[in-house]
Chains A and B, each alone.
Chain A
Amino acid sequence: MKQALFALLAGALFGAGLALSGMADPAKVRGFLDIFGAWNPTLMFVMGGALIPMGIAWRIQAKLLAPLAAERFNLPDTTKLDARLISGAVLFGIGWGVAGLCPGPAITDLALAPRPAFVFVLAMLAGMLIFKIITSRDLPMKETKTTGAIGK
């Protein structure tokens, strides 16, 4: 309960920051990506501003044994660059450029422009579902290969 309240607070602060920064506006995001056209550099300040507290937070994290409201840190430890990361980033960038929306602003906009945000978020979840279906199909195939003695 305490953890969920913490997460709700963090989410609300995140959403408020998106709304204040201008990043909730798809046209501004597309303007930021339009470096060969009418470039709008405002979002550089958003990214710069966001990196400051997080840069400090990582330094504090390195000195902590456990987070303040949970038992332990659960952080990604993968370091290798693989085809999945690269192709995923390429695809995400294309979608981001087409509509000017990434997941955070899209979900925040559910409260600010419900109709178009809902269409985008629903499609986004469908894209996530397609990914889950494809990868869950992959897994049993790999398993049958490793326990291949019984296989054909």
Chain B
Amino acid sequence: MQQAWIFGLLGGLMIGGAAALMLLGLGRIAGVSGLAARAVGLADAGPPPALAIAFILGLPLGGWLMAQALGGVSLHFPPNIATLVIAGLVVGFGTRLGSGCTSGHGVCGMSRFSRRSISATLIFMASGIITVAAMNLVGLS
């Protein structure tokens, strides 16, 4: 699809615009892992819980509205429940240990030229690339 990169760019601008709203409006980093932990009471520090809950609820709401506008989006999940459970556990633990994920480190931190966030982003990208390559190699994908 030739449209894919245009949609990617527009979607990216919206994501960055949303993070800019959080920064300039509320003075906070739009880091989804941290906000998710805060929203469910699993983080000791962070914004007021009501604020974190509102942001987290906004995600599926915005996704749903966009899917309606586009007439549906096609998603392809791993068919195996065990895959989702293992990946989820590791993502949850890893993002808390590393203090951020693709949004906090990748979008907010890198654009701030934070040494920590640039390092974290390079590391989790490399780690993800190696994981996918290794899974392909042993026929797990």
A residues apposed to B, CB below 8 Å: 3-28, 30, 33-37, 41-58, 60-61, 64, 66-76, 78-81, 84-104, 106-113, 116-117, 119-132
Bound Cα distance A21, B107 (Å): 14
Chain A hits for B26, CB < 8 A: 3, 6-7, 10, 67, 69-70
Q: Which residue from chain B places its CB closest to the CB of A11 in the assembled complex?
A: B58
Within 8 A of A (CB), among B40-90: 40, 42-43, 47-48, 50-67, 70, 73-78, 81, 83-90
A15–B63 contact, CB under 8 A?
A: yes
Q: Which residue from chain A places its CB closest to the CB of B64 in the assembled complex?
A: A111
Query: Which of the residues A42, A58, A86, A97 comes within 8 Å of B112, measured between beta carbons?
Result: A58
Interface range for B: 35 or more
Given contacts A11-B58, A49-B10, A99-B87, 19 further A-B contacts (CB under 8 A): A6-B26, A8-B61, A11-B57, A17-B12, A17-B62, A26-B75, A89-B123, A90-B123, A92-B98, A96-B127, A98-B78, A102-B32, A108-B63, A110-B60, A113-B75, A119-B81, A120-B88, A126-B92, A127-B91
A6–B25 contact, CB under 8 A?
A: yes
Bound Cα distance A90, B20 (Å): 27
Chain A hits for B32, CB < 8 A: 14, 102-104, 107
Query: Which of the residues B89, B98, B111 comes within 8 Å of A127, measured between beta carbons?
Result: B89
Chain A hits for B28, CB < 8 A: 70, 74-75
* A15-B61 contact in complex given A67-B27, A80-B116, C-beta closer than 8 Å: yes
